[in-house]
Amino acid sequence: MTTPRRLLLVNGPNLNLLGTREPGIYGSATLADVERITAEAAAAYGFEVRAVQSNHEGVLLDAIHDARADCAGIVINAGAYTHTSVALRDALTGVALPFAEVHISDVYAREEFRHHSYLTDVAAVHVVGEGVQGYATATRRLIRVITGQADG
């Protein structure tokens, strides 16, 4: 079976507010900018992107489950669910697709509760603190994992 040339881009709660939410932390780029940046990075490798954003955990879980049918991997910024959701972790490990965890801000330089992630130890790629350009970094690195071109 041929590996699909599609990625699922998942953005969790409050990421729909990008561009207006705490610009000192998250910058002025919007969710539409994030989706464009990710799609452009993927297209450079011949991949397409399907994007989903929700403030509701179950919607994100359903999208991850559906990705089994036609995606090769997942780029995810789970937002606050990063620090709270065992269900999200279980969905990601359950579908057995490689995934990249991305955070716009440097979560390790912020409040202590943001230092713990339920995803990091099972993610193939982890990108933190690069702003929205981190999505492009995460996408490129994930595609290299998927295509067997990752460096060590």
SS3 of 63, please? helix
> What pTM was estimated for this model as a whole?
0.92
Is 83 marked as a binding-site residue?
yes
Is 104 marked as a binding-site residue?
yes
pLDDT at 112: 79
Region 128-147: mean pLDDT is: 96
pLDDT at 52: 98
In our burial notation (b when 16+ CB lie closer than 10 A, e otherwise), range 102-126 reads bbbbebeeeeeebeebbbeeebbbb
Tokens of 99: 């995934």
Tokens of 146: 């998927």
Region 138-146: mean pLDDT is: 98
SS3 of 114, please? helix
* 152 band by pLDDT with thresholds 50, 70 and 90: very low
Is 105 marked as a binding-site residue?
yes
Is 36 marked as a binding-site residue?
no
Cite the active site residues.
Answer: 26, 103
pLDDT at 18: 87
One-letter amino acid for residue 4 of the chain: P
Which tens digits make up the pLDDT trace of 31-76?
999 999 999 999 999 999 999 999 999 999 999 999 999 999 999 9
Q: What is the largest CA-CA distance in the chain?
A: 46
> 């994030």: which residue's tokens?
34
Show me where the domains of the chain are located.
6-146
Which tens digits make up the pLDDT trace of 77-118?
999 899 889 999 999 999 999 999 999 878 766 667 666 788
CATH 1.10.760.10 fits 6-146, yes or no: no
